[in-house]
Homo-oligomer: A and B are copies of this chain.
Amino acid sequence: MYIFGVLNRNMISNTCKYGIRAILYIAVNSDGEKKIGIKKISEDLNLPGPFLGKIMQTLAKNKILNSVKGPHGGFSLAKAPEKISLYDIVKIIDGDDVFHECLIGVKICESNPEYTDLCPFMGKSHKVREMLEKTFKEQTIGEFAKGINSLDEFLQI
């Protein structure tokens, strides 16, 4: 339930989810060299094309993707898929606040990165949050892509 309307609170922004899914799509469908265009990716993944374009731009600027203009152009991974983690992508698109900021917005936690238990909850929650961060850092695109049996899993929402 939400106070003022419809809410769907996510840890990760839609923008970032789209980015992750597009990169996975490339990892699954390209053999490293082959370029894939925004049109094809956005149609297959059912994502808004022009918006995805912006996201890809950002990922290209941040050396996650290579982009080539013109006919037969498109995007390919700029590194081995085993060298790209979900954390890398989240950090570029959403930043890493989600892994570090104080969960209830207490000032003292923000100025106290050692978690020397000034906010009682931070003392209890920071281990879980470190695990969360670790999970994102250890999950590579390469390994993720290997685990995908059917691309249909990634169609639509």
Contact = CB atoms under 8 A, between A and B. Distances in A.
Contacts of A157: 105, 107, 110
A118 B146 CA distance: 12
A106 interface: yes
A91 B128 CA distance: 19
A55 B1 CA distance: 12
Contact of A107 (B98, B101, B146, B156): B156
B12 A118 contact: no
A13 B4 contact: no
A54 B3 CA distance: 8
A82 interface: no
Given A10-B98, A120-B144, A15 B3 contact: yes
What is the copy number of this chain in the assembly? 2
B124 A135 contact: yes
Nearest to A153: B108
A105 B15 contact: no
Interface string A143-154: 110111000011
Interface of A: 1-4, 7-15, 17, 20-21, 54-55, 58, 62, 86, 91-95, 97-98, 101, 103-108, 110, 117-121, 123-125, 128-129, 131-132, 135, 138-139, 143-144, 146-148, 153-157
